[in-house]
Structure 1
């Protein structure tokens, strides 16, 4: 591995951050015109279960403008995420060994795919169940009219929860390759992981059993999948020179 002075590292870090920010800005500007349509697409799972004639509301004067812009920024971040992750890996790559560098591409690709899969799982499967449940338990005489800003905060939390959950196999593989844990320890910790999965689900999901199971079960299964992958890819090879 080649050692570089601190100033060179700082200049390289600045360059990578600028490139990541530029990618995000370009995508955001390209999508800005369709901000309203993008928010409507995000709100569709809730709008589909609202009673006939009901709508979402905006309690803040600036919310009708800024909330769709926030959603568009989120979408731009997701679209530019591969570029952002590449810039991060390109910065740390010079400090890695040769066998570690070979993991960069599959690690970045699998991380992005798994995070997107977690978000898609929440949007297409969890949201209809959660919002349908909320609509069904709304007391008679109460109009279900959700504020658009609070709705955005809710779905962002759910997206992050499910996106991070689907990253579990990556975390397991990294921990085993770094020698922090072994496959045997991962197997021994299975009961604690199962309990922890339901605790996490109870904290981040609405108070209905079905939605909690829809988070806890994938978390456990992905942990098991991570153990299987760690058996094949988690072994740390001998050190090589870069």
Structure 2
């Protein structure tokens, strides 16, 4: 008889935990999808897909010439685009539940001091993303629409296509939502030790230049949109430095905190 392979002993008993993790992951995904489905059903009932599109189009329509409306160049666009908008709104509405499922899945494998870091980051990243989208909707799109109409020739009747408008607005929402995550990125980079607080302060000038370059690349070619993205990114970078100092102080491992208190003593 051949001797048992040591690798078999090392892998013994690992199948069950792996399968149980997969089952839990499946359950978490199902719950997240159910939350999105419930939000979608509510929005379909009220205000309805057409109402959702009217809400999304309002910042642009308010600055179109009198009597001008958006148009649909595709046969199924009047149905498909409002449904896409409703689904997008459902994802945002159910985002807290989705992120909670992510948190609940990873939390058992974290130390207590790591849990102090993850939960605030999950909450703050959600809030910042929503604030970024709201900032884009209430400030950027109306200002950009007014700017464009002010320079449009009088012989041109503005009648944007609804699919193009939806794609354009969705891109802006993602850009501003992600851009408003700057403090979270700064905190994570500082907390895991990739950069120090002092390095972040020294890189302030480079970040300011980079913010204006990014704004010039990802936003429409108008000054309002570029300034509306670059300036908040710069302010949020400064806020991230302050937040990073607080997070590093309050989310240290017990042994690290003890060592620092000894040094301070």
Do the two structures share a fold, i.e. TM-score over 0.5?
A: yes
Report the equivalent of 2:117.
103
Query: Residues of 2 paired with 1:45 and 1:198: CA distance?
Result: 25
Report the equivalent of 2:95.
81
Q: Is 1:238 paired with 2:238?
A: no
Report the equivalent of 2:155.
141
Query: Residues of 1 paired with 2:129 and 2:72: CA distance?
Result: 30
Of 59, 65, 69, the residue aligned with 1:51 is: 65
> How far off is 1:170 after superposition?
1.2
> How far off is 1:13 after superposition?
1.1
Of 9, 12, 15, the residue aligned with 2:24 is: 12
Query: Residues of 2 paired with 1:10 and 1:137: CA distance?
Result: 56
Divergent runs of 4+, >6 A: none
Name the SS for the 2:105 alignment partner. Answer: helix
| TM, length-normalised to structure 1 | 0.94
For the 8 Å contact 2:117–2:247, the answer to whether it is kept is no
Larger Rg: 2
| TM, length-normalised to structure 2 | 0.86
For the 8 Å contact 1:119–1:160, the answer to whether it is kept is yes
> How far off is 1:210 after superposition?
2.2
> How far off is 1:151 after superposition?
0.4
For the 8 Å contact 2:140–2:224, the answer to whether it is kept is no
For the 8 Å contact 2:186–2:241, the answer to whether it is kept is yes
Query: Residues of 2 paired with 1:51 and 1:193: CA distance?
Result: 39
Moved more, 105-114 or 231-240: 231-240
For the 8 Å contact 1:97–1:239, the answer to whether it is kept is no
Query: Residues of 2 paired with 1:75 and 1:192: CA distance?
Result: 35
Report the equivalent of 1:120.
134
Report the equivalent of 1:31.
43
Task: Give a deviation string over 1:102-148, Cα, whole Å, max 9, x none.
Answer: 33432222111111111111111111110111111212311111001
Query: Residues of 2 paired with 1:139 and 1:219: CA distance?
Result: 33
Name the SS for the 1:102 alignment partner. Answer: helix
Report the equivalent of 2:261.
none
Name the SS for the 2:73 alignment partner. Answer: coil
Of 210, 219, 235, the residue aligned with 1:205 is: 219
For the 8 Å contact 1:186–1:227, the answer to whether it is kept is yes
> How far off is 1:239 after superposition?
5.3
Query: Residues of 2 paired with 1:18 and 1:178: CA distance?
Result: 31
Identify unmatched segments of 5+ residues in structure 1: none
Q: Is 1:168 paired with 2:151?
A: no
Greater relative CO (CA pairs within 8 A, separation 6+): 1
Query: Residues of 1 paired with 2:252 and 2:123: CA distance?
Result: 22
Query: Residues of 2 paired with 1:177 and 1:153: CA distance?
Result: 36
